[in-house]
């Protein structure tokens, strides 16, 4: 089994999602950041508006539209602290 990150996505009003993932991708004010297990500790400000993508084992991906907040990476995992977080609409294929 591949190493996993413990991930929490939290909005001001509630915990949005918590679980284990293979990778987290978030856009900060410094640029897009991909986080894998073993990433160095970091605190970044989320770009407004942007998306956070959590890639689960097996290929499933969860995506949230976020407004404001921070990304915190520690030795124990990743926490997304957003002012607002809503499940993103699935992408549709162009016809």
Report yes or no on 10 lying in a domain: yes
Which domain CATH number covers 59? 2.60.15.10
Domain residue limits at 27:
5-87
Report yes or no on 95 lying in a domain: no
Instruction: Specify whether the CB–CB gap between 81 and 69 falls below 8 A.
Output: yes
Rounded to an integer, the average pLDDT of 14-30 is 97
pLDDT at 78 over 80: yes
Report yes or no on 93 lying in a domain: no
Report yes or no on 94 lying in a domain: no
Q: Provide the sign of the torsion angle of the four alpha carbons 89, 82, 20, 28, taken in this order.
A: positive
Structural domain tally of the chain? 1
Rounded to an integer, the average pLDDT of 83-88 is 95
Instruction: Specify whether the CB–CB gap between 33 and 53 falls below 8 A.
Output: no
Angle CA(21)–CA(66)–CA(69) in degrees, nearest 5? 90
Residue 93's pLDDT band, with cuts at 50, 70 and 90, is low
Instruction: Specify whether the CB–CB gap between 16 and 88 falls below 8 A.
Output: no
pTM score, whole prediction: 0.90
Angle CA(42)–CA(58)–CA(50) in degrees, nearest 5? 40
Report yes or no on 92 lying in a domain: no
């Amino acid at each position: 089994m591949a190493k996993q990150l413990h991930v929490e996505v939290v909005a001001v009003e509630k915990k949005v999602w918590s679980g284990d993932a293979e990778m987290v991708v978030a856009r900060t004010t410094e640029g897009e950041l991909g986080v894998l297990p073993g990433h160095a500790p970091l605190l970044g400000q989320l770009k407004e508006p942007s998306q956070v993508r959590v890639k689960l084992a097996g290929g499933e991906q969860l995506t949230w539209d976020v407004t404001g907040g921070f990304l915190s990476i520690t030795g124990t995992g990743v926490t997304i602290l957003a002012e607002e977080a809503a499940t993103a609409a699935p992408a549709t294929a162009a016809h």
